[in-house]
Structure 1
Amino acid sequence: MQHESASAMAGHARQHYQETEQEHISRSQSGFPDFEKDMPSLVNRFSFSLKDNLSSYLGSKNPFYSNVDPQKDYVWLLDNTAYQNRIGRWKAEIVAAYFVKNSGKDLSEVVGYIADKIGMAKDEKVEETIEQRIQPLLDSILPAHAVTIDLQGVDVRLGPSGRDGISTDEIAIPGHGYKDDQVITSQAVKADATTMRTHFASPKGWAVLSDIDDTIKKTLTASPIGILKTTFADEPEPIRGMPELYKHIVQKLDSPPFFYLSASPYNLYPFLRDFRETYYPSGTMILRDASWMNLAGFLSNLTQGTEAYKVDRIEKVHTWFPKRKFICIGDSTQTDPESYGEIYRRHPKWIGAIFIRKVTGVAEMDESTKNDPERFKKAFDDVPRNVWHVFEDPNELYTKVDALVQTAT
């Protein structure tokens, strides 16, 4: 029997420990604990060699790493945003995710499970969509591996990856003279990998930090079955009026950098990136680690410990752009109000506006609690009333965005 890694178990413990009381209530009301009990195991995600297993504990300092094999492995190079450090040097945090090709041994079982649960068993088109989206959650992750990229004509090694099959490197961008809003592309060298885009953003100006589900993409469900259906089977749809609002923000605030922060696992990166590219401005997608060994971990990833996770990631963004003014956009379904309120209290001069979409019409959601004015009042304690706004129609925000033009840093 293959046991869960110490780091994965620690991650689970932290996630459970950071689950808020409201998250616990919401999960119980929607039947998540019972639903998760019989979800398929995904132990094959952690089927790597003993050498990779042991040496991966050394993290980025691992001297026993291997380079990825383009015939057997594939790598995602996540888009990122370059920032200037104190001496004006451009740097970027480059995240790469490493997998073994077509290694998801549980694929047919999991596809059948999801299709059956959402009531679409034997629908070949639906099962094909599920298979395409679920594959990255089933393929074996690849710790203790590295990939080389061509970054502006210079070969740069990324990694090696840690126990989660991810490498994160703070890299200085070779060259000079980069301009605000410039975009460059980078390719891997002798590896099967996605193309990476780096968006340059100067130290001052506006920036946008946006949630994804029910803020810009329709989910409109609080049930485990509904989440499986909208994630793996349905065609993703934007929230009405939000693509137009984001275009307005781009025009009025001089093409600010966008950061899309979601509790979705990084395994959904291609799916979410395609959706974003279709409807919204380009930007950095910040997604959650996925150190779990059964499909239930996917649901807990989305519904437990989201406030602590988001606050932690926003703090990271603050280290890159401490002098920019941020607009935080989220919704009332989970912990966006609490997360953004906490960040404002920590960095009041950094947050210029907070917009929360009041989500209605979700059968499984307790709207009386989620949309209670007292909830927002508590979440935004010590946040000036003119900074935060709860909206139902994106058209409410146009004049508020226009007013921000006069207060740019």
Structure 2
Amino acid sequence: MTQPPALVRARHAQQLYQETEDEREFRTAAKFPDCEKDMPDLTARFQYSLKDSLTSYLGSRNPFYSKVDPKTDYVWLFDNTAYQNKLGRWKAEFVAAYFVKNSGKDLSKAVASIIDKIGATKDDKTEATIAKRLQPLVDSILPAHVVQLDLQGVKTRLGPSGRDGISSDELAVPGHDYQDGQVVTSKALNADATTMNTIFATPKGWAVISDVDDTIKKTLTASPTGILTTTFTEDPEPIKGMPELYQHIKSKLNNPPFWYLSASPYNLYPFLREFREAYYPAGTLILREASWMNLAGFLANLTQGTQAYKVSRMDKVHEWFPKRKFICIGDSTQKDPESYAEMYRKHPKWIGAIFIRKVTGVAQLDSGRNTEERFEQAFKGIPKNIWYVFEDPSELYAKIDSLGSP
């Protein structure tokens, strides 16, 4: 089965969760292990019928699948980007996540844990906000299920889902008269599901890969309690000047396709999609698979193995768009410089520019992650005209304008 660009399968989790030495030092200094050690168990997410459990091992070839029930189940259809194969035909990977409605037995316990960890005031509004964002992290996943999709007038089956409650199908898109940058919307049939937007991108031109937290969305904390606070209680806020910069990129570079690459778990998809829709150009959200059985896995997702994860996802995008020229935009809080540098060394003709936002005002970061030595080491051997570290988005307008044809 083809690996989805938006998710990382559970069998890859051990490799991608392996801490690097600097991640271990950072997590220890910020006391992540202390915060994680007593976070609630979420094993109820993986309690499903014996039939679904056994047949899910068959993956996409499972003949014993069930259709989703709109009364009891819900499905997320992930936005995607269509590409052209060598014959010029359009294809895309269609990823769906399947859940049982309101099945999170551990929701109240998880909400109480978050409130206790961050020291929030316990009131109805705070509890409701946390519960809404936590619900997809505690609801039971649904393996061995399918959903029917109306794909440009053609009834198409997605799935069946695997043991992680996710299906991934690489499918031809009916029709051929699509234009670069065109967006079409598909809807599920007889299912409680989100809509899916497919963006069409021709083989050549500019493209953008962007990090999310502290690149386009404000986090400005390196502590586990700070991350929990911004994720589960606060309204998401864009980084000042970045929405305008991204609109400038869209206008100046002829509406390039965007990928938003984050180490956040896919369970935050609706939350992050809504934020992106409010402030930034349309694009595919690439999020991390969440196979962990404890809420502590949420913090581990964000802080362990992020470089390996991001490079693996960029490799997949490269397979589909090897002739596009990419602008990679990230920040200094985690491993964006090292991830983009590794990708440049693998595919130097593929990346035309790397822009790293220096995140200042965060004590845990200023001491080591913002030093000139860190950036010089990360980009060692990479031409100086390729990478640039900025603090104010206004610094990038002239650089974008000077990029010219890819």
Match of 1:260 in 2: 260
Match of 2:314 in 1: 314
Match of 2:93 in 1: 93
Match of 2:108 in 1: 108
Deviation at 1:12, TM superposition (A): 4.8
Three-state SS of the structure 2 residue aligned to 1:168 is strand
Match of 1:159 in 2: 159
- For residue 39 of structure 2, what is the amino acid of its counterpart? M
- For residue 292 of structure 1, what is the amino acid of its counterpart? W
Contact preservation (8 Å) 2:263, 2:287: yes
Deviation track 1:256-283 (CA, whole Å, cap 9, x = no partner) reads 0000000000000000000000011010
> 2-side partners of 1:334 and 1:153: how far apart?
43
- Does residue 120 of structure 2 align to residue 120 of structure 1? yes
- Does residue 373 of structure 2 align to residue 374 of structure 1? yes
Match of 1:241 in 2: 241
Contact preservation (8 Å) 1:90, 1:172: yes
- For residue 150 of structure 2, what is the amino acid of its counterpart? D
Match of 1:351 in 2: 351
> 1-side partners of 2:279 and 2:14: how far apart?
36
Three-state SS of the structure 1 residue aligned to 2:327 is strand
Give the structure-2-normalised TM-score: 0.96
* Equivalence map 1:45-84=2 (5 Å): 45-84=45-84
Deviation at 1:56, TM superposition (A): 1.2
Three-state SS of the structure 2 residue aligned to 1:177 is coil
- Does residue 9 of structure 2 align to residue 13 of structure 1? no
Contact preservation (8 Å) 1:55, 1:62: yes
Match of 1:393 in 2: 392
Deviation at 1:145, TM superposition (A): 0.8
Contact preservation (8 Å) 1:98, 1:143: yes
Match of 2:6 in 1: none
Deviation at 1:121, TM superposition (A): 3.5
Contact preservation (8 Å) 1:207, 1:256: yes
* Equivalence map 1:184-263=2 (5 Å): 184-263=184-263
- For residue 191 of structure 1, what is the amino acid of its counterpart? A
Deviation at 1:23, TM superposition (A): 0.8
Deviation track 1:39-79 (CA, whole Å, cap 9, x = no partner) reads 01111100111111121112111122111111110000011
Q: Say if 1:83 and 1:16 are closer, same or farther in 2 by CA, change over 3 A.
A: closer
Deviation track 1:321-348 (CA, whole Å, cap 9, x = no partner) reads 1111000000000000000000000100
Deviation at 1:373, TM superposition (A): 1.2
Match of 2:383 in 1: 384
Match of 1:275 in 2: 275
Unaligned runs of 5+ in 2: 1-8
Give the structure-1-normalised TM-score: 0.96
Deviation track 1:206-227 (CA, whole Å, cap 9, x = no partner) reads 0000000000000011111101
Contact preservation (8 Å) 2:265, 2:288: yes
Deviation at 1:13, TM superposition (A): 2.9
Unaligned runs of 5+ in 1: 1-6
Deviating 4+ runs (over 6 angstroms): none
Deviation at 1:14, TM superposition (A): 2.0
Deviation track 1:291-349 (CA, whole Å, cap 9, x = no partner) reads 01110000000100000000000000001111110000000000000000000001000
Contact preservation (8 Å) 2:333, 2:365: no
Deviation at 1:153, TM superposition (A): 0.6
- For residue 395 of structure 1, what is the amino acid of its counterpart? S
Segment of structure 1 superposing worse, 50-59 or 196-205:
50-59
Match of 1:150 in 2: 150
Deviation at 1:384, TM superposition (A): 0.7
Contact preservation (8 Å) 2:222, 2:365: no
The number of residues matched between the two structures is 398
- For residue 350 of structure 1, what is the amino acid of its counterpart? W
Match of 1:4 in 2: none
Deviation at 1:366, TM superposition (A): 3.5
> 1-side partners of 2:350 and 2:307: how far apart?
19
Q: CA RMSD in A?
A: 1.1
